[in-house]
Amino acid sequence: MGSFFILVLIIALSVALASPSIKGRIGEAKLSFLLNRLNQEEYHVVDDLLIPSKNGTTQIDHVVVSPYGIFVIETKNYKGWIFGDEKSKYWTQVIYKRKEKFYNPIHQNFGHIKALESALEGLYDGTFYSIVSFSSKATFKKVTVTSPDVDVINSLQVLQTIKGHNQRVLSNAKIKGILFKLKQLNQGDKESKKQHVNQIQTARHKEQASVSENSCPKCGNQLVKRTGKYGAFLGCSNYPKCRFVSKKAI
């Protein structure tokens, strides 16, 4: 009986660790540990920030406020080969022969930055540095990034990337004001996080329902099968006016 219980426990733990949400939390915790190695007198780390946005709320994995600017970090605890272009809606993860599409993390982080810009209007008009951090086990095969203030890197490169900016743009007084504002805005209580998750899930279910009916969730036109450099996918028949593509595997 004891051995059977241990086996069930191992299986349950394996299933839990395979969950995307659990993997994401593990990745965020690992990066938070690394970020706390920064000089805490200069670099102020805010983890798991939930602030208002034009679509309700937006959740930001990590924000680092420093004399050298503000760094906004999106964590992707993905391994394997990563393919993607800064302008594409979806990127591709390849592990052996299995391909998975995921939303462009640069676009995702851009949404976070726009929410921060709005929240900190009048307090900060400098550059928001966008960092997308992947697992150290990820390999970038074809990832194209041209924007000077965007970095797509492995987690072990994050500290070096942040420290690479050494021109002072914020006074200590400004930093205190920004941190106070973020603390005021942060809706990090359990109920707000639950509402945020429900908001994301509702939007995702609506999109999936439209795709299952072969209908574009953006404009209502028919979806058609297309082939790109990363394989087959579903795209809107109204392209290029509508650029919706489905990450659903074909």
**Do 151 and 223 have their domain in common?**
no
- Write out pLDDT tens, residues 7-57: 444 444 444 344 455 655 677 889 999 999 999 999 999 999 999 887 778
6 lies in some domain: no
Q: Is residue 55 part of a domain?
A: yes
Q: What's the mean per-residue pLDDT of the chain?
A: 81
In a domain, 96, yes or no: yes
Q: Are residues 102 and 161 in the same domain?
A: yes
The pair of structure tokens assigned to 221 is 């036109």
Distance CA 19, CA 6 (A): 20
Q: What is the pLDDT of residues 147-189, one digit of tens each?
A: 999 999 999 999 999 999 999 999 999 999 999 999 998 876 5
Encoding tokens for residue 59? 């959740």
Whether residues 60 and 152 fall in one domain = yes
* Same-domain status, 49 and 95: yes
Based on the fold, state whether residues 27 and 105 are members of the same structural domain. Answer: yes
One domain, residues 167 and 245: no
Tell me the pLDDT tens digit for each residue of 181-208.
999 988 765 454 455 445 555 555 666 6
**Does the pTM exceed 0.85?**
no
For 112-116, what is the mean pLDDT? 95
Domain tally, the chain: 2
160 with 212, same domain: the answer is no
Residue 175 belongs to some domain of the structure? yes
* Residues of the domain holding 244: 207-249
**Residues 180, 211 share a domain:** no
**Residue 104: Cβ within 10 Å count:** 18
Considering the domain boundaries, does residue 228 fall inside one? Answer: yes
| End residue of a domain, out of 135, 153, 188 | 188
- What does the angle CA 98 – CA 103 – CA 106 come to, to the nearest 5 degrees? 120
| 110 and 61 both lie in a single domain | yes
Considering the domain architecture, whether residues 184 and 211 belong to the same structural domain is answered as no
- 240: exposed, middle or buried (Cβ count in 10 Å: 0-12, 13-18, 19+): exposed
Confidence of residue 240 (pLDDT cuts 50, 70, 90): low
- Tell me the C-alpha to C-alpha distance, in Å, between residue 208 and each of 82, 99, 216, 233, 246: 24, 19, 10, 14, 9
One domain, residues 176 and 218: no
Q: Is residue 56 assigned to a domain?
A: yes
